[in-house]
Structure 1
Amino acid sequence: MIALPRAALLAAVLLAGPATAQTASAGINQPKQGYWWYAPPPKADKQAPPDPDALMKPLIPPMAELATFTPPKIRKLIEQQRDYAATVLTVDAVADFWRLEDFARRKARAFAGVTQIAMLQHPELNSKSANPMVGDARAELSAYKDDVRRRYLRAHAPEFALVMFSRSTCGYCRVQWPIVQRFQDEMGWQVTLMDIDRRPELGQRFGVEVTPTTMIIRRNSQQRMVIAAGIETYPNLAQMAYQAVRLLSGDIRPEQFMTGAGEEDGFFDALANGPVSSSDPRSRASDMLGGDLVNRPSEPK
């Protein structure tokens, strides 16, 4: 039953000719193809991605072309040459690395030279006019700033008070308190010592967790501001008090908080040449004074 159909098929193939015989025999030996059978597409030859860590000798351009490179491009070339030289460890490769380093050094020195000329032609960009380096001049500047701070803080003594929060077990508080008392003697301010061990409700009310904490409070107002958390030297305490009073009084904006005495509209004034933020500085200052500083409890009693 099985042999007869196969014999008949072979006879038909022989009668049909050699081409048909080849096709039929191929169909017998190959898998079925047609409507319900599909041959998978041939796979394309995939090339392996290049190894990023493969050893490659960097191409160092002529000096005239290298001079047109941007600093990031020069830095990248130097790093490539450094890695290559550290791998092959040949005299030529190491020498090429140091030639690139020398080029970068000369480029930086050239920039510094042009910078000096620019600072001389545009003194408003140079801090030396506002911060002299000569010893006698610095002493004169320091005395001037101290005088400006002292006159300003004494003038505002009736409006503000200084409160230092402490604990009976705080050894640092015994060091900080004489400094606060010196501020009282020199600026004429009222200062108060508050022991939050005896009155824990004050620590919760004013959010004091670290002692000593020194705070400025504005009289007949809810404005207050911490000016020291921990031990602070007297010059720094006076400087922070000066900055805080100016901020609470509206004489400066938050962006100018690091502007020292007598530095208004000068080199160290962040807003001397206009806004430095994308938003309106006046709106930001009013938001801070209205939210973070104004809506605070009044002076402890």
Structure 2
Amino acid sequence: MRASLLSLVALAVGVAVPAAAQLSRTAQPEPKQGYWWYQAPPPKDDDADPEALAKPRIPPMAELARLTPPKIRKLIEAQRDYAATVLTIDAVADFWRLQDFARRKARAFAGVTQVAMLHHPELSAKSANPMVGDARATMGAEKEQVRRHYLRGQAGQFALVMFSRSSCGYCRVQWPIIERFREETGWQVTLMDIDQRPELATRFGVEITPTTMVIRRGSAQRMVIASGVESYPNLSQTAYQAVRLLLGDIRPEQFLTGAGEEDGFFDALSAGPVSATDPRALGGDLVTSSLEPRP
């Protein structure tokens, strides 16, 4: 009887142990992987040198032709560094082969650009700025006439002030140019010596002489149009643009838009706003703020 009981116990233990072992194996959680489970990055090799010398792979010409300009530039720089390090004939020759490819790529782009300009003349400056001497002279005379007529029409609203010092030799060169401007436009011009009236230098923020400034009568609006000696054509052009800006006829982005160039090739805003500060970019009306004097 006792032997039978021991046999039963042994049998029970023999069956239970494998079952428990099996249960233990199946209860082990599987390692979790995937997007939502963090996996530590592999350890970095501290001995790896990021600037170790490596010969760049130069692809065949057909593959080079499909590379973007930034990738081509990066390949050229890598080959240049490699060639300058090893200083072998083959490495240097490969660098110049890449340079030659980039040169021909640029020339090809220029050729296609020429054809594109012929197909789309509105993208070329030739229609608005002819290169032929006689045509350029005629256009220049027309623009000067427009500027002179416009400035004469504003002679009652604006005046020109030149700030100088008695010790300023450049001021003696600039003043005859200012007088010519008066003769051409009919504006009132004034010479202010800041040695005799130093408070004017502080009030108008004048630091160097000669400084020429456009001032709007009966207003705090003013604008410097020349610091130092300036030629008459440049002075006249800048005064024309300054008056248009102060009157709100143009925005600052159009300051390089010359006489007769409005809504044309050289007008930065002819096709719409080009900056986030332009009210039209926000769906608002075109508003030009006044230029206030510096505190």
Normalised TM-score (structure 1): 0.77
Is structure 2 residue 150 aligned with structure 1 residue 152? yes
Of 197, 201, 207 in structure 1, the residue corresponding to residue 199 of structure 2 is 201
Q: Distance in 2 between matches of 1:195 and 1:100?
A: 62
Structure 1 pair 287–132 and aligned structure 2 pair: CA distance change class (3 A): closer
User: C-alpha offsets along residues 245-283 of structure 1, whole Å, 9 cap, x if unaligned?
Assistant: 111111111111111111111111110111010133468
| Larger mean Cα displacement after TM superposition, 240-249 or 123-132 | 123-132
- CA displacement at 1:284 relative to structure 2: 11
CA RMSD of aligned residues (A): 2.2
Query: Is contact 1:173–1:211 with CA below 8 Å preserved after alignment?
Result: yes
Q: Percent identity?
A: 75
Matches of 2:61 and 2:43, distance apart in 1? 42
| Native 8 Å contact 2:225 2:239 kept in 1 | yes
Distance 1:263 1:177, change over 3 A: same
CA distance in 1, matches of 2:208, 2:85: 55
CA distance 1:262–1:80, change in 2 (3 Å): same
Residue 103 of structure 1 is matched in structure 2 by 101
Counterpart of 1:89 in structure 2 is: 87
Aligned residues: 251
What is the distance in 2 between the residues matched to 1:94 and 1:60?
13
Task: Pick closer, same or farther for the CA change 1:170–1:285 going to 2, 3 Å.
Answer: farther
Aligned counterpart in structure 1 of residue 241 of structure 2, from 236, 240, 243: 243
The residue type equivalent to 1:129 in the other structure is: S
Contact 1:224 1:296 in 2 (8 A): no
Q: Structure 1 residues 47 and 209, CA, compared in 2 at 3 Å: closer, same or farther?
A: closer
1:161 counterpart = 2:148: no
Aligned to 2:114, which of 99, 106, 116?
Answer: 116
Find the partner of 1:137 among 132, 135, 138.
135
After TM superposition, the structure 1 stretch with the greater mean CA deviation from structure 2, 85-94 or 254-263, is: 85-94
Q: 1:182: how far off?
A: 0.4
Moved more, 149-158 or 81-90: 81-90
What is aligned with 1:78? 76
| 3-state SS of 2:163 partner | strand
Aligned with 1:98: secondary structure? Answer: helix
CA distance in 2, matches of 1:58, 1:276: 41
After TM superposition, list the pairs within 5 Å mapping 1:20-31 onto structure 2.
none
Distance 1:233 1:123, change over 3 A: same
Which has the larger Rg? 1
Deviation digits for residues 205-248 of structure 1 (CA, Å, limit 9, x no counterpart): 22222211111111122211111111111111101110011111
Question: What are the equivalent positions in structure 2 for 1:169-208 lying under 5 Å apart?
Answer: 169-208=167-206
Distance 1:267 1:287, change over 3 A: closer
Deviation at 1:52, TM superposition (A): 2.2
Displacement of 1:131 in angstroms is 1.6
Name the SS of the counterpart of 1:127 in structure 2.
coil
Q: Tell me how far apart the structure 2 counterparts of residues 231 and 167 of structure 1 sit (CA, whole Å).
A: 14
Alignment-derived partner of residue 65 in structure 1: 63
Q: In 2, distance between residues paired with 1:51 and 1:242?
A: 61
Give the 3 Å change call, closer, same or farther, for CA 45–267 of structure 1 in structure 2.
closer
Which 5+ residue runs of structure 2 have no aligned equivalent?
A: 1-41
Question: In structure 2, what is the equivalent of residue 53 of structure 1?
Answer: 51
C-alpha distance in 2 between matches for 1:285 and 1:225: 21
- Tell me, what secondary structure is at the counterpart of 2:126? helix
**Which of 249, 271, 274 is 2:272 aligned to?**
274
Unaligned runs of 5+ in 1: 1-43
Superposed displacement of residue 90, structure 1: 2.7
Alignment partner, residue 10 of structure 1:
none
SS of the residue 1:269 aligns to: coil
Q: Counterpart of 2:202 in structure 1: which amino acid? A: Q
Change (3 A) 1:284 1:84: farther
How far is the alpha carbon of 1:79 from its aligned partner?
A: 1.6
